[in-house]
Amino acid sequence: MNGKTVRAIFPGSFDPITNGHLDVICRGIKLFDELIVAVGKSPQKNQLFTPQERVEMIAEMVGHMPGVSVESFDGLMVEYAKVKKADVILRGLRSLTDMNYELELAMTNR
């Protein structure tokens, strides 16, 4: 090992957070040294909870997990990842349709 800390970002709206999201977080922190759960602000979406409420709910659920932090962000996720000096963007997949969408998104972000 070279001793480099690997920082990952798990972005999403998390409105509300689901057991599937929590599963990705639990698996992610086993793979990476740091995991930032990044709650996106999307004013164009009709959301159930405010970004601050979502951050607080998630922080309460993951507070016992060392290396996991929760923040909200504005703007493009790829720009946020640069600011946070993230090495990895973590995403969850539910279906083949998700896989195709995520592959297109990854190519765009690259």
pTM for the complete prediction? 0.84
- Domain at 7-109, CATH homologous superfamily: HUPs (3.40.50.620)
Residue 96: burial class (beta carbons within 10 Å; 0-12, 13-18, 19+) = exposed
- pLDDT at position 3 is 77
Nearest to 14 by CA among 86, 42, 26, 30: 42
- pLDDT at position 2 is 64
pLDDT average per 10 residues of sequence, the chain (110 residues)? 86 93 96 97 82 96 97 93 95 74 74
Nearest to 35 by CA among 79, 99, 87: 87
Delimit the domains of the chain by residue range.
Answer: 7-109
